[in-house]
Structure 1
Amino acid sequence: MRALLARRDIRLLVLARLIDMAGSNALWIALGIRVKELTGSNSAAGLVFFAFILGTLGAPLGGALVDRVRRRPLLIVLNLASTVLVLPLLLVHDRHGVWICYVVMALYGLASGATSSAMTALTQSLISPEHLGDANGLLQTLLQGLRLIAPLLGAGALSAFGLGPLVVGDAATFALAALLIALIRQREDRPQSARQEEAGAHIAAGFRYIARTADLRQLAVAVVLAVVAFGFSESVLFAVVDAGLHRPPTFLGVLSSLEGAGAIAAGVGAAVLMRRAGEGRTVMLGLACAAAGFSLSAAPSLLAVAPGTLLIGASLPLIIAGVMTLFQRRTPASLMGRTDAALSVLIGVPQTTAIAAGAALIALVDYRVMLATMAVLMAASALYLATRTTRLPTEAGVTTQVRAGGRTTEPQNHHGDSAVGDGAADR
């Protein structure tokens, strides 16, 4: 990691991502609180986040754009556009302006999906395959730490200064991120011209690539099972605090801090684990941690819930870093944007459905039954990966080969290295 941060371009890329996420996380929570204040409705506040998720489902359109243009200039344009995009929120003063929040958040989600795919693709082009695990582990450590702080700052700033300064601050973070990306010096090759194909086929290419690449397909199936469990947890954790621990709702903040601490610790070790065991086993360990964490959380005792929460937090960076690294290593640069976008949709749709289902089921089903179901889903996901026969090429092994236009090619990244995997059978 020290070697990565010694490179000026990598420092700029990581800093841009952190600044972008800091502003976004602070604004999102504050905007939900503000809508709740203006309307008095929990449902209206929840629709803020639903509008964002709805926007992210347009990620395949952004992914198609990412694979047609240079990623660095695109990221600059997307960040500058987002700077302007959030400013209409300054017009929200009463309940009659709440619709503006929904429109802005839907467009915000659309821009965020394209930005995420472009950032993933740019990271792939700037960092050699053997260092992608280190980069993703580092980024997860920093982002998990940020997620502990940014929502608290957003809620505190809203209470002290109102929504306006937060909107202006978020716009400023986008502008600063654009500047930092503009300062990256490494030359980015122009994307190779793709063969002529219908727009729909071009957009769907990421889904087709995942479907025909066995290890990516298997990992996608496992992660879809996992995100259903995580979607249920959005509602279940409130019941753990109330019915299980008999604590006030504010105690959820304590559990959130424990979850963040577990995430930071796991993020630090994710890179080392991926080098030694491979991305697949890293993801499996994350899934197993989540299964154990959900099981422990069913016990009506803080002595069980606290370590369970730590394990749930630790599971996230292991899963995310392992998935991101494998997809970056196994996907040719010409498809990275669309493949990342396809994975976002494959994850986003079941996760959104699970969040809605969890909110309904928690009123009908004992929370311990739901936790048991979540643990089973996580364990089944880990077992599915463990029993797959597909084995990834090792770091010193076979170069990934991708069929394109009827011939076999070797996808190269910007450094001229083949996009290879480094470990076990395995977003």
Structure 2
Amino acid sequence: MSETTTRGGLRSGLFAWLVAGWTLANVADSLLGVLLAVWVVDLTGDAALGGLLFAVFGIPALFAPLLGRLADRVSRRRMLWVTYIVGAAALAPLVMVRDASQVWWIFAATILYGAVGYGTAGCRGGILRDLLDDDDLGPANAILQTIDQVLRLALPFVAAGVYIWTGPLPVVLAAIGTFLAAAVVFASLRFAEAPVEDDADPFWVSVTAGFRHLRVTRPLNRMTVVLVMLSSTAAFTSAVGFAVLERMGVEPAWMGPIEALSGIGGLIAGVTAAAAMRRFGRPRALTIGTVLLALGVAPMLADSVWLLAAGLAVVGFGVTTSVIAYVTESHVATPSRLQGRVGTSVNMLMQLPAVVITAAGAAALGLVDARWIVACGLAMCAVAAVVAWRTHAAQARPAGEPGMAAPDVGGRG
């Protein structure tokens, strides 16, 4: 594609090209999201190890601010396609895994694969800001989240079927191929990126600028607290997912298809989120999503697979609505020079507590009933709902740069 000096709209070829690359990359995520944990459980016979894999996935969060600073100092388009090549290389050793003695390879690949998400998070917001006007960011995020949900709905069934029929190798190869295809698409994308601004701050002040922006920017600061609590709720439930299915007499391989039902609710949310944000505002949309998440998690306390499936559909709607509302607020409220650091800071704040909670939940399975762990997640979600309810849209941003409650988020005095 030839380089352009003007912003495109939602109907532009530039945005369509971005959507194509995003779709290819998320094919890999949807294929592997649950399958790696299922693979670990099948190789070892240990449901707790399957839950632990979800915790390991968050370890790269420790380095997320460094990736965010890199994204704010280089071409984000170039960083994006390089990151997807790294993701493909990280998955390549999995084609040689054959037995339980090699499970550590899956854990190692998961750590590197997890880093891909932080690298792309540092690039996505800035690229969208470069391509689109602020009014288009909400619909654009809704479109991208809808794609996520469609893939989450369809591909786990495909991955589970292939896994049961032939084993994991074809799924791993497909994920590698789609990562490489996404890299080709983004390498071909040409547009005028925002110029990299000089950063005179000391290194660690610069690295942590995203956290300071989140702290001083209203209502993004309270919305961030809510999102972290929602991530913690998801961590409680992920840690015991296999144990819940075991209690219900369901095979671990069905985790993917059952969780894919959340894609139904997520698909509906993706279609309706832009209208909800226009009608209620982004903070209120986040509140609605939080309440629905709590309602959807509650069936995990029961023993019915059908209630669990219905609840997961509600979870999908609630989580997707919340994420779209938050991500849109984050993109609108953050200047281009901080998009990378803010994006990775958010992911770090979400993932690090989730790592600890998931690991603790998996360890606690041998000591307490899974229902108690689910109840802890519900309590966290209830607190998040209260915080979200009190986050009023009237907490308008001060005049000046959108979203900037203070001019010195970079640390200069």
Per the TM superposition, whether the score is higher than 0.5 is: yes
Cα separation, 2, equivalents of 1:278 and 1:259? 24
Which stretch of the first structure deviates more once superposed, 122-131 or 86-95?
A: 86-95
Q: Of the two structures, which has the highest relative contact order with CA contacts closer than 8 Å and spacing of 6 or more?
A: 2
| Matched AA of 2:337 | S
Give the 3 Å change call, closer, same or farther, for CA 164–362 of structure 1 in structure 2. closer
Q: Does the CA-based 8 Å contact 2:58-2:355 persist in structure 1? A: yes
Which residue does the alignment assign to 2:319? 316
Cα separation, 2, equivalents of 1:258 and 1:159? 19
Equivalences, count? 402
Which residue does the alignment assign to 1:279? 282
Which residue does the alignment assign to 2:184? 179
Q: Are 2:24 and 1:19 aligned?
A: yes
Match of 1:270 among 258, 268, 273: 273
Which residue does the alignment assign to 1:420? none
Which stretch of the first structure deviates more once superposed, 396-405 or 58-67?
A: 396-405
Match of 1:191 among 169, 191, 196: 196
Shift of 1:335: 0.5
Which residue does the alignment assign to 2:338? 335
Match of 1:347 among 338, 350, 374: 350
Shift of 1:163: 4.0
Q: Are 2:236 and 1:227 aligned?
A: no
Give the 3 Å change call, closer, same or farther, for CA 403–318 of structure 1 in structure 2. same
Q: Does the CA-based 8 Å contact 1:26-1:152 persist in structure 2? A: no
Give the 3 Å change call, closer, same or farther, for CA 92–252 of structure 1 in structure 2. closer
Q: Does the CA-based 8 Å contact 1:53-1:348 persist in structure 2? A: yes
Cα separation, 1, equivalents of 2:138 and 2:177? 30
| Matched AA of 1:343 | V
Cα separation, 1, equivalents of 2:379 and 2:360? 17
Give the 3 Å change call, closer, same or farther, for CA 305–108 of structure 1 in structure 2. closer
Shift of 1:240: 5.8
Shift of 1:258: 3.7
| Matched AA of 2:351 | G
Cα separation, 1, equivalents of 2:242 and 2:371? 12
Which stretch of the first structure deviates more once superposed, 331-340 or 297-306?
A: 297-306
> Residues 58-116 of structure 1, C-alpha deviation per residue, up to 9 Å, x if partnerless?
21111110000121111122222333332233333444443333322222222321122
Match of 1:168 among 150, 173, 181: 173
Cα separation, 2, equivalents of 1:235 and 1:109? 17
SS in 1 for 2:58: helix
**1:237-248 equivalences in 2 (<5 Å):** 248=250
Q: Are 2:213 and 1:213 aligned?
A: no
Which residue does the alignment assign to 1:88? 93
| Matched AA of 1:200 | W
Cα separation, 2, equivalents of 1:200 and 1:95? 41
Shift of 1:296: 5.5
Which stretch of the first structure deviates more once superposed, 93-102 or 329-338?
A: 93-102
| Matched AA of 2:56 | A
Which residue does the alignment assign to 2:4? none
Match of 2:15 among 10, 13, 20: 10
Which residue does the alignment assign to 1:386? 389
RMSD: 3.2
Cα separation, 1, equivalents of 2:141 and 2:57? 24
Match of 1:110 among 102, 112, 115: 115
Shift of 1:376: 3.7
| Matched AA of 2:21 | A
Q: Does the CA-based 8 Å contact 2:334-2:404 persist in structure 1? A: no
Match of 1:135 among 133, 140, 146: 140
Match of 1:52 among 34, 52, 57: 57
Provide structure 1 residue ranges, at least 5 long, that are not aligned to the other structure: 408-427
TM-score, normalized by length of structure 1?
A: 0.82
Cα separation, 1, equivalents of 2:45 and 2:105? 17
